[in-house]
Chains A and B, each alone.
Chain A
Amino acid sequence: GAVVSQHPSWVICKSGTSVKIECRSLDFQATTMFWYRQFPKQSLMLMATSNEGSKATYEQGVEKDKFLINHASLTLSTLTVTSAHPEDSSFYICSARRLAGEITDTQYFGPGTRLTVL
């Protein structure tokens, strides 16, 4: 149990276009999902917290108009990178916190999406 999927697994786009990444919890409900960014050979940096039915909260330094997050249901959150530029190229990872049955802060991670902006 506790499987999280991401789609697509990798994407290449032209500079100036927008890219949408989906994060789904496949076998549980998640009121909270998180989006991370990981540069090569580096650690994960939390970008934003996605809350079902409400606005996402962004970490300091993350442009909310650049990285649009929508959490429309208890199993789906999307991250849209708007007007992408080469510096947005990165590995984007989502995680989900189970709605019930967890007494700790355990998060279940998706496999990640590799974004390359040309």
Chain B
Amino acid sequence: AQSVTQLDSHVSVSEGTPVLLRCNYSSSYSPSLFWYVQHPNKGLQLLLKYTSAATLVKGINGFEAEFKKSETSFHLTKPSAHMSDAAEYFCVVSKGDYKLSFGAGTTVTVRA
């Protein structure tokens, strides 16, 4: 079965410092992996997706993620956090049949 584990339930960073959100996946085949962001009272927005092309995936708003098969990881990073990055982030894996399995989520707070 395909699943993801987000290793941090809450991450707090200072504005202008790097952000790292960790995600490990479990999949019996080469997975499709995604990161979504959910701002309060707003819909989920796709940040980036991995589809077995380049292992380093660049997304919107300066985010990127690296697929590491040897570590079964797909960590999300951003070099410099902005106040607007405060939100809930979900690591997601495709389960097949176009179904998605969501991680538990990581809440990001950004300190001024």
Chain A residues engaging chain B, CB cutoff 8 angstroms: 4, 32, 34, 42-46, 49, 93, 95, 97, 103-112
Contact = CB atoms under 8 A, between A and B. Distances in A.
B44 A93 contact: yes
A109 B44 contact: yes
B105 to A, nearest CB: 5
Contacts of B94: 104-105
B71 interface: no
B98 A44 contact: no
B46 A43 contact: no
Nearest to A4: B43
Chain A interface secondary structure, helix, strand, loop or mixed? strand
Contacts of A43: 90, 102-105
Contact of B43 (A32, A97, A106, A112): A112
Given A43-B105, A44-B90, A105-B32, A111 B43 contact: yes
Interface in B35-52: 36, 41-46, 49, 51
B51 A107 contact: no
A49 B51 CA distance: 22
B97 A104 contact: no
A110 B43 contact: yes
Nearest to A9: B41
B27 to A, nearest CB: 13
Nearest to A2: B46
Contacts of B46: 106, 108
B98 A32 contact: yes
Nearest to A36: B102
Contacts of A49: 97-99
